[in-house]
Structure 1
Amino acid sequence: MAFAAYSFLRWITPTSEAKAAPIDITRVALTVVAGVGGVVALVIAYRRQRDVEQSRFVERFGAAAAQLGATDVAVRIAGVYAMAGVADESDGLRRQQCIDVLCGYIRLPYTPELGGNHQTKDIRKHPAPEPSGPETEQHFEYRQNDREVRKTIIRVIADHLRSDAEYDWSTNDFDFRTAHLEDVDFSRAAFSGSARFDGATFTGDASFGGAAFGNGAAFHGATFTGDAAFDGAAFGDSAAFSEVAFGGAARFDRATFSGDARFSGATVTGDAEFSKVTFSANARCREAVFSSMARFRETTFASVAEFSETRFSDRAWFGDVRFSGPALFSGAEFGNLVSFDDVAFSGAAEFSQATFSGDAWFDKTTFSGTAVFGEAVFNSHARFGKSMFTSGVAFVKTTFDGSAWFDNVSFDGIAWFGEAMFNGSAAFSKSIFSGEASFDEATFNRAAGFDGVTFNGDAGFDGVTFNSDAEFDEATFNGLAAGFGEVTFGGLTRFIRATFNGITAGFSRATFRGDTRFDHVVFTGTAGFFGATFGGTAGFAEATFSDYARFDCVKFNGLALFDKVTFSGPAVGFSEAIFRSGAGFSKAAFASQTSFLATDFGSEQIVFTEPRQWGPPSPGFDWSDGGEGRPANVEPADWPPAVATS
């Protein structure tokens, strides 16, 4: 080698006039040889060390595995610690192999009822199926006292996943799929690698409180027979709890889900605790079943929150929840009290076809997106007091079997209540409808209160049925139209001091079966009562009609009171109207053309005494201006009536 190095250096050394001394070249050649030799020695030493370590790993790994396979429980427990020791002194793939063996042991078939006994074999003999045939035997072999071995494995793994562990296994993968786990405690454990618990069975209580799952948590199809504690857990990626069966309580208080959280098809037999949880991505809980109380207080849903067709058998609390994305509860079933008080829905709120068997509380709730309750059923009381609907809201074909409270509600967008069924009392007192309000074809079977309500958009009540009292006292209609066409008012109807500022207020062909009060009402636009029927007393005392007033073809079956009414619009029509029980127009003001032509005044007293104004032109009747042909029941006897002086 020295000769070769010497020749090489002679070849690469630049030539010059002065010749290099042979001794110098020889020294350099020896230095190069020494360096190369050192490198070769290091490589050989590394390979030898690697082979030694591999041989040592294989030897220790094999010995630990053999101990885990022993029949004696003490040997198996020793094997657990031996395998953990091998993992501690290894890294990378070797450590993962050790962990896989420990997890694989947990996945072996296991019968909890036999986990703590000393039985090793069970032989069962069966008689021959035929008289001449041999009998058969079945041999069942068991690992003696295997419960302690399995508990040791879980304890060792959990200890290596906590922050105070001497050797950290948190970056490794753990596969517990289909495993049977008893009274496991993974509290404060950190799973930075994959954590697979799909199809696992947790017997007894399972604790994952404060655990951190950095690379996803998979519990799909798992079964928890006792309480499951995930309070304060952190899920850095997706968390799969779909089809999970929680036999006891499920506690997720203060947990954080950074990725998608899937609970679809899950069943929770005990209490479900999800208060102060943060869902940063989608939260899917479709077709889940909560058999006991479910709490989601002060929880934040940053994206889609889906509870479609989910069943809440007991009370459900969603108070102070923040839904930043769509909240989907379509087809959900609430079997007991449910509270959405002080909730903020920033996206769409979908409750179509939901069923509320107990009280439903939505007091002081804010709906910033579209809210849909179409075809929902409220079997008990529904409360929406002081809530805000900043976009459209739909209660189309919704059924309210109990009381429905919408007091002091702000409807900033379109509000649809078409074909809704109110079987209990309905209260909309002092609410504000800034957009269109549609109650067309709705049914109110008990008292309906709209007193003090403000309608800034069109108000549609066409075809509505009020089978009991309806109160619109001091209501304000600022929209272009207020439609009550063909409405049926079955009880007492009150519009006292209501104000109609729109172009039209339409009550055409409406039916008022009970007493009706329009006292002190102001009609700025056209007031249309064409073809309406008043079954009881109809009171319009001191009402003001500033535009057209149409009472043509109206039937007043009860007393009609228009005392001190002011008709100042272009025309007033009572043509072909029928007064069956008398009418009072005393001190009324007829400031424009008024027609009583073809009017049937019946046989009861009709009073036109002391009008405050009598035209011009004078109101038109089927008799002369001097009173010739006037029915005897129409007063005063001296016709035309004398205008009041004060």
Structure 2
Amino acid sequence: MPLPRLGRGLRSSKLPALIVLSWVAASTLICLLSLAAWWALDRPEWRPGEAIGPGQAGEILRMAFAVVAGLGGTALLVIAYKRQSGEEKRLFTERFTTAVGQLGEANVAVSLGGVHALAHLADDAPTPGLRQMCVDVLCAYLRIPKPETPSMLTERTEEMLGAYQERTATYESMREVRTTIAHIVSRRLRAESPWSECRFDFLNAYFDGDVDFSGIKFARGGNFSGAEFRGKADFSKSEFSEKIDFKGAKFYGPTHFEESSHRGDLDLEGTTFHGTASFRGASFEGSASFRSARFLGSSNFSKSTFSRVANFSGIRCGKRIEFKGVEFSDKADFTNSAFKRDADMSGCAFMGETNFMNASFGRDTYFQNSDFLSNVDLRNMNFMGHTVFDDARFGAKAHFSGSHFKSSSSFLRSRFTEGHFRTVSFGGRAAFASSRFTGETSFTGSIFHSGADFVGDDPPGTEAGGSCPKGLVNERGESAAGVLLPGRWTL
């Protein structure tokens, strides 16, 4: 790694300019103080006096010499400061070079010494740029790639295999070094430290064991794209002031982002969560992208808030996922997503446009008590298990056209401003008792394979209200077979 020339000492081309600037500053200060004294003495008028005598002339000369001496002292202070600064940088360069050399050693103990030396250098760095340089070296060590597996072709030799095994053993022996770097970074960022002003580049980094980044503060964001977390990854209650990038990262153990705060954008596109993933209670003030992410374990987003666009398009969920009580203030995109097991989105508030087009739910799905305040697109969806929209409120257009409900579906006490259920296939029995249709709603072309109830078991107050949706009654005023409608709709 090429090292910057930090210890060059004084630069003769800049020193005269600094001295002149210091003189100008000192002269300006003297003038301002004189003006303040004149103002404090009620601005006395200047009156020409008698001719200056020898005593007065000597006093003026002494004052002039004092001013000159003061300016000379100022110049000496500037020169001394520059010399001290140059010496500090020279010493920093020597320590930095030694620490980097230790970090690159094959001996674990020596490498650990280099890690701690760089950490202390960053603590004592005289400038933010030098501190960032130390941090960059520590991050770069985590980006050292694992040895590539030898080719499985016939030309593989014993020599190739032996070299690979040696490289792998060396890499594994440095696991403690990588773990120590992660621990040092987390400790510095968890406390009040100038490290929080640094930017951390963990592009393609490899974290062997558990990583505890809980409660840390990233003031300048960070880059974890392509990183691998082999153990537990804990970012709970962490704060990210700027954009944080996890694109393409892989989490193999439990992942925790509970109550984390994201003031900037969050990018988790293409990320894979092999274990459980929890974002419960997290707040996303910037846009949040989970596009094409893979959740192979159970996941939880309950009580989270999304202030800007939330992109979950194309996600794949292998186990149960929960979005209970989540607030989406802006657009929410779940197009082409696939949920293999149960999905619980009850009590959600979708304030912006919401899109679930072409999404599929393999097991039971819950949207009860959810509010859709803007248009919601639920076209061409597949609901394979029991589906619940009880007490849901649709404040604008709700498009279910072309969707398929394989099992039973329940819309009890739901409110529709404008509903579109054209060509929907209801495989199980559909329940719409006590629901209300205040605007134009259409079930034209829909098929109720097991019937539908728009009237509940207890007659008082259980009938669906509002105007009769289109497609439920034929020209003769008859409902489809197995579809129970309120009497006033068939009159």
TM-score range, shorter chain: 0.7 to 0.9
Q: Is residue 298 of structure 2 the alignment partner of residue 293 of structure 1?
A: yes
Q: Is residue 389 of structure 2 the alignment partner of residue 384 of structure 1?
A: yes
Q: 1:423 to 1:74 in 2, by over 3 A?
A: closer
Q: Is residue 475 of structure 2 the alignment partner of residue 485 of structure 1?
A: yes
Q: 1:247 to 1:397 in 2, by over 3 A?
A: same
Question: 1:109 offset after TM fit, Å?
Answer: 4.8
Q: Distance in 2 between matches of 1:375 and 1:204?
A: 43
Q: Is residue 446 of structure 2 the alignment partner of residue 456 of structure 1?
A: no
Match of 1:55 in 2: 90
Q: 1:100 aligns with which of 124, 128, 136?
A: 136
Query: Which entry has the higher C-alpha Rg, 1 or 2?
Result: 1
Question: 1:490 offset after TM fit, Å?
Answer: 6.9
Q: 1:379 to 1:31 in 2, by over 3 A?
A: closer
Structure 1 residues 480-559: aligned runs within 5 Å: 483-485=473-475, 491=481, 498-500=487-489, 523=491
Q: 1:457 to 1:241 in 2, by over 3 A?
A: same
Match of 2:81 in 1: 46
Structure 1 residues 248-327: aligned runs within 5 Å: 248-327=253-332
Q: 1:220 aligns with which of 222, 225, 245?
A: 225
Q: Distance in 1 between matches of 2:60 and 2:297?
A: 92
Match of 1:447 in 2: 451
- Give the unaligned 5+ runs of structure 1: 1-13, 114-122, 127-136, 171-190, 465-482, 506-522, 524-646
Contact 2:179 2:209 in 1 (8 A): no
Aligned residues: 426
Q: String of CA shifts for 1:54-83, please: whole Å, max 9, x gaps.
A: 333333333434444455444443333334
Q: String of CA shifts for 1:439-460, please: whole Å, max 9, x gaps.
A: 1111111122122544533531
SS in structure 1 of the partner of residue 207 of structure 2: strand
Question: 1:157 offset after TM fit, Å?
Answer: 3.9
Q: String of CA shifts for 1:123-151, please: whole Å, max 9, x gaps.
A: 9748xxxxxxxxxx999775895344444
Code of the aligned partner of 2:334: F
Structure 1 residues 489-638: aligned runs within 5 Å: 491=481, 498-500=487-489, 523=491
Q: String of CA shifts for 1:330-366, please: whole Å, max 9, x gaps.
A: 2211111111222222222211211111011112222
Question: 1:419 offset after TM fit, Å?
Answer: 0.9
Q: 1:153 to 1:30 in 2, by over 3 A?
A: same
Code of the aligned partner of 2:190: R
Q: 2:237 aligns with which of 232, 240, 248?
A: 232
Question: 1:308 offset after TM fit, Å?
Answer: 1.5
Q: Distance in 2 between matches of 1:44 and 1:25?
A: 29
Contact 1:435 1:458 in 2 (8 A): no
Q: Distance in 1 between matches of 2:317 and 2:190?
A: 36
Code of the aligned partner of 1:222: A
Q: 1:155 to 1:208 in 2, by over 3 A?
A: closer
Q: TM-score, normalised by structure 2?
A: 0.77
SS in structure 1 of the partner of residue 297 of structure 2: coil
Question: 1:278 offset after TM fit, Å?
Answer: 1.2
Higher relative contact order (CA 8 A, sep 6+): 2
Code of the aligned partner of 2:371: T
Q: Is residue 116 of structure 2 the alignment partner of residue 88 of structure 1?
A: no
Q: 1:85 to 1:247 in 2, by over 3 A?
A: closer
Q: 1:216 to 1:401 in 2, by over 3 A?
A: same
Q: Distance in 2 between matches of 1:192 and 1:431?
A: 54
Match of 2:152 in 1: none
Q: 1:147 to 1:486 in 2, by over 3 A?
A: same
Q: Distance in 1 between matches of 2:351 and 2:383?
A: 24
Q: 1:450 to 1:196 in 2, by over 3 A?
A: same
Q: Distance in 2 between matches of 1:268 and 1:285?
A: 11
Q: String of CA shifts for 1:218-265, please: whole Å, max 9, x gaps.
A: 222222222221111112122222222222222111112112222221
Q: 1:366 to 1:15 in 2, by over 3 A?
A: closer
Match of 1:599 in 2: none
Q: Distance in 1 between matches of 2:185 and 2:453?
A: 65
Structure 1 residues 381-460: aligned runs within 5 Å: 381-411=386-416, 413-451=417-455, 452-457=462-467, 459-460=469-470
| Worse-matched range after superposition: 344-353 or 137-146 | 137-146
Q: Distance in 2 between matches of 1:359 and 1:42?
A: 77
Q: String of CA shifts for 1:496-538, please: whole Å, max 9, x gaps.
A: x7125xxxx6xxxxxxxxxxxxxxxxx4xxxxxxxxxxxxxxx
Question: 1:53 offset after TM fit, Å?
Answer: 2.7
Code of the aligned partner of 2:84: Q
Q: Distance in 2 between matches of 1:50 and 1:490?
A: 89
| Worse-matched range after superposition: 418-427 or 241-250 | 241-250
Match of 1:369 in 2: 374
Q: 1:427 to 1:24 in 2, by over 3 A?
A: closer
Contact 1:73 1:144 in 2 (8 A): no
Q: Distance in 2 between matches of 1:486 and 1:459?
A: 15
Contact 1:320 1:343 in 2 (8 A): yes
Question: 1:16 offset after TM fit, Å?
Answer: 7.2
Question: 1:378 offset after TM fit, Å?
Answer: 1.1
Q: Is residue 191 of structure 2 the alignment partner of residue 163 of structure 1?
A: yes
Q: Is residue 344 of structure 2 the alignment partner of residue 339 of structure 1?
A: yes
Q: String of CA shifts for 1:574-597, please: whole Å, max 9, x gaps.
A: xxxxxxxxxxxxxxxxxxxxxxxx
Q: Is residue 325 of structure 2 the alignment partner of residue 354 of structure 1?
A: no
Contact 1:124 1:139 in 2 (8 A): no
Code of the aligned partner of 1:280: E
Q: Distance in 2 between matches of 1:64 and 1:192?
A: 22
Code of the aligned partner of 1:163: A
Contact 2:433 2:464 in 1 (8 A): no
SS in structure 2 of the partner of residue 460 of structure 1: coil
Share of identical aligned residues, percent?
Answer: 32
Match of 2:24 in 1: none
SS in structure 2 of the partner of residue 375 of structure 1: coil
Q: String of CA shifts for 1:128-179, please: whole Å, max 9, x gaps.
A: xxxxxxxxx9997758953444444444444433326xxx342xxxxxxxxx
| Worse-matched range after superposition: 312-321 or 96-105 | 96-105
- Give the unaligned 5+ runs of structure 2: 1-47, 150-156, 456-461
Q: 1:436 to 1:81 in 2, by over 3 A?
A: closer
Q: Is residue 252 of structure 2 the alignment partner of residue 242 of structure 1?
A: no
Question: 1:27 offset after TM fit, Å?
Answer: 4.3
Computed over aligned residues only, the root mean square deviation of the Cα atoms, in angstroms, reads 3.3
Code of the aligned partner of 1:78: G
